[in-house]
Amino acid sequence: MAAAGALALAEVGASCPPGGPLAFGDCEQVRPLALAVLGLGAALYVAGLSGVLAWTRGLRRRGLADARAARDWYLLAAAVGVPAAPLLAFTLVSALR
């Protein structure tokens, strides 16, 4: 979330004609889309990891998994979520435009 916030601040603080880190100079068309994808992607990533954490805690509480299995699932979700969250966010933001 901190990295997404820093990137959003860099984008908003960049001047329009030369372009920012995300919009590449197209302030009217790309900047709102880029900021929406960035924010939604970060929120989806955190929500997904929170869901996996809750799920593995439930498994551990019922005795169906140990701490190592819970950690492995969390790391797998974190690794898969890095590319998946921005792609899903881009799809959702584009569809809702």
Q: Is residue 5 part of a domain?
A: no
pTM beyond 0.85: the answer is no
- The Cα 61–Cα 3 span in angstroms is 33
Q: Is residue 50 part of a domain?
A: yes
- The whole-number pLDDT of residue 80 equals 95
Q: Is residue 82 part of a domain?
A: yes
- The Cα 23–Cα 40 span in angstroms is 16
For the chain, what is the domain count? 1
- The whole-number pLDDT of residue 18 equals 58
Q: Is residue 2 part of a domain?
A: no
- The whole-number pLDDT of residue 20 equals 60
Q: Is residue 79 part of a domain?
A: yes
- The Cα 72–Cα 56 span in angstroms is 10
- The whole-number pLDDT of residue 12 equals 73
Q: Is residue 4 part of a domain?
A: no
Q: Domain residues for 60?
A: 42-97
pLDDT, one tens digit per residue, over 2-55 is 888 887 777 777 776 655 666 566 667 777 888 889 899 999 999 999 999 999
Listed in sequence order, the residues at least 6 apart from 4 whose beta carbon sits closer than 8 Å to its beta carbon are 38, 39, 41, 42
Q: Is residue 84 part of a domain?
A: yes
